[in-house]
Amino acid sequence: MAKKLIGAPLIIFSFLFTVFFAFPVLAIQASQEAEQNDARIERIEPAFWWVGMKSNQLQLMVHGNNIADFMPVLTYPGVRIQSLKRVSNRNYLFINLSIARHAKAGKFDIHFKPANLQKLQNSQPAQKPPLKYAYELREREKDSARRIGFNASDVILNLMPDRFSNGDPANDNLPGFLEKTNRTDIDAGRHGGDIQGISQHLDYFASMGYTMLWPTPLTESNQLKYSYHGYAATDTYKIDARFGSNEDYRRMVAAAKRVGIGVIQDVVLNHIGSNHWWMRDFPMKDWLSFDGEFIPTYHARTTANDPYASAIDRKNFTAGWFELDMPDMNQRNALLATYQIQNTIWWIEYAGLAGVRADTYGYSDPAFLAAWSGRVMAEYPHLNIVGEEWSLNPVTVSYWQRGKKNVNGYVSYLPSVMDFPLNDNLRKSLVAEDSMHSGLNDLYEGLTSDTLYPDPMNLVLFEGNHDMSRIFSALNEDFELYKMAMAYVLTMRGIPQIYYGSEILMTSPKTRDDGKFRQDFPGGWAGDKVNAVDGIGLSSQQKEAQIFLKRLMNWRKSQVAIHHGKLLHFAPEQGTYVYFRYDAKHKIMVVLNKNKSAKTLATNRFQEILPRQASAIDVITGNSFDLSTALTIPPRSVLILDVTDGVDVK
């Protein structure tokens, strides 16, 4: 008995030790092993890259359960891991690679070894194989860095893919996507247009005379509502499957090139969609502005260069959220900034793009915008990027263009901006009463703002887009004013951009109504009674508009004086406005007459550019004009005159 009594305390002590000390330790070890066993790589972005890029730096975002507990290792000639960045969320690991100039295209494995076994790896092998990811460095297309972007020799077509043409009805509704197709919902519903629908119309675009295509965003937008427009992305490395696949997009770009059309990608730098995959697992607390708290922007866009703006207003403009379902990204976070820069470059290289259109440009952090535009242009020196700064104030718009010497010292590398001020002048001046202070005089005086722009010839001038009323409606459905507007956009300085459907006089309310601004292109759906491409169901006026635009755009293709020539204009008189586009070899005279009666202008007023014996041919009608003494302009008309004089202009 005594022996048993002596042993009992030892047994009890051993039991208590196991309960209070050993079991928790074993439980922790089991938990750690379970976590490691559950570790996985969900994605690495960018998924692949290229050799021969100007920058030899590449940041990989690795996302996976507990991936920060692993140590990446790779062996490949010319590629090394320069540094690692672990953040507060263990499901992320950022790998900074250095890619030498001599590195060759090929594949290599990145091994992820459990970090707590690194010291033991020589003496005690891991209990399970480490994770690995097959990474690829690809060969660039020949002369990729020397690609020529869009310029003033081009005409850009802006279209909204969901509302343009449904080439593949099979992808309208897909598992896992929240919003289903509802063509009866004009305002917010998805209608089913897709990449295949665009591809099927490439010959139509080329025959019309377009040389550049700008679709609104095609990247995944798996939002509960309003997903059709694409400006609330849920994955910026993936084309929305309801539009098609990444490869479908790439094939469409290649097919467009074969018919002489480049593709411009619409990029959203400022915000993402509220259902973006990041929203379920933030990399860091400050990945979004205001640490993910919804604080709306006041849209005070002038704060960027207003010398009197308060610091809080400046911060609110760039950090405030665009909308509740469009969370604002914090580009002051260096990891996010690099992610976005690489994403843009990835799409340019992968898809073979001719340019980029940057949405809501000024809303992003200014320092980031300088870094983003600078890095992209360094990789592609002859590319073009146009930023959307939706302001009617040319001081605000010009602030962002490359070469502007801003008072506050801000340096931008953005080559082009959308010319919202001149667009507004055009729309208002054509319907206003002509006087010393309104009408065509506003259009004339508006061009003085060009002194603010470092490169006014590289501005994108547009008659309309997906965010504003249709040009025909804005001009009170006056066909003659419509022709003046289209002729102006296509002969004025800068890069012209046309909105889909303008060629067939599509209409809309004048006040903001996005759904009606973005109506379906006739003939893009099976069963449509009107087909704009074939002319079925179009009115005689719609057909005339289409022919007018087609002739003008195809004529424009070969007009170097329009593309790169100088501009000389004369103050409006008697409801008429005359301007010339010219170079050393050629002169084009454009005359607008808003009057309901014919007007005769003495041509000696234009003698500094127009010699006494000049004659001309109207490029639209083919009619001849003697310009030696006077020019009679038909009522409510525009003349585009190819001038013959045999005299060089210096």
Question: For residue 71, what are the β-bridge partners?
Answer: 113
- Beta strand ranges found along 115-183 (DSSP E): 131-138, 156-159
| Residue 45 annotated as catalytic | no
The DSSP secondary structure of 420-440, one letter per residue, reads: HHHHHHHHHHHHSPPBTTBTH
Residue 74, classified by CB atoms within 10 Å of its CB into exposed (0-12), middle (13-18) or buried (19+), is middle
Run of H or E including 133: strand 131-138
Rounded to whole angstroms, the Cα distance separating 383 from 473 reads 34
Rounded to whole angstroms, the Cα distance separating 287 from 279 reads 10
Alpha helices, DSSP H only, in 107-211?
195-199, 202-208
Pairing between β-strand 262-268 and β-strand 79-86 as defined by DSSP bridges: unpaired
- Beta strand ranges found along 405-494 (DSSP E): 416-417, 460-462
Question: For residue 250, what are the β-bridge partners?
Answer: none
Decide if 110 contacts 345 (C-beta within 8 A): no
Decide if 243 contacts 257 (C-beta within 8 A): no
Rounded to whole angstroms, the Cα distance separating 560 from 400 reads 27
Query: How far is CA 286 from each of CA 322, 328, 341, 584, rounded to the nearest angstrom?
Result: 17, 11, 18, 56
Question: For residue 358, what are the β-bridge partners?
Answer: 267, 387
Tokens 């949405």 belong to 359
Q: Is the four-CA dihedral 284, 286, 291, 292 of positive or negative sign?
A: negative
Using the 8-state DSSP alphabet, how is residue 504 labeled?
A: G
Question: For residue 61, what are the β-bridge partners?
Answer: 45, 94
Please give the structure tokens belonging to residue 463: 């008659």
| Residue 388 annotated as catalytic | yes
Report the candidate in 468, 464, 462 with the shortest Cα–Cα distance to residue 511: 468
Using the 8-state DSSP alphabet, how is residue 531 labeled?
A: B
> If DSSP codes are grouped into helix, strand and coil, which group holds residue 97?
strand
Catalytic, out of 162, 172, 349, 359: 359
> 460-494 burial, b for 16+ CB within 10 Å, e for fewer?
bbbbbbbebbbbbbbbeebbbbbbbbbbbbbbbbb
Using the 8-state DSSP alphabet, how is residue 329 labeled?
A: B
> If DSSP codes are grouped into helix, strand and coil, which group holds residue 357?
strand
* Neighbouring residues of 94: CB distance < 8 A, sequence distance ≥ 6: 59, 60, 61, 62, 84, 85, 86, 87, 335
Catalytic, out of 388, 434, 450, 463: 388
Decide if 614 contacts 643 (C-beta within 8 A): yes
The residues annotated as belonging to the active site are: 359, 388
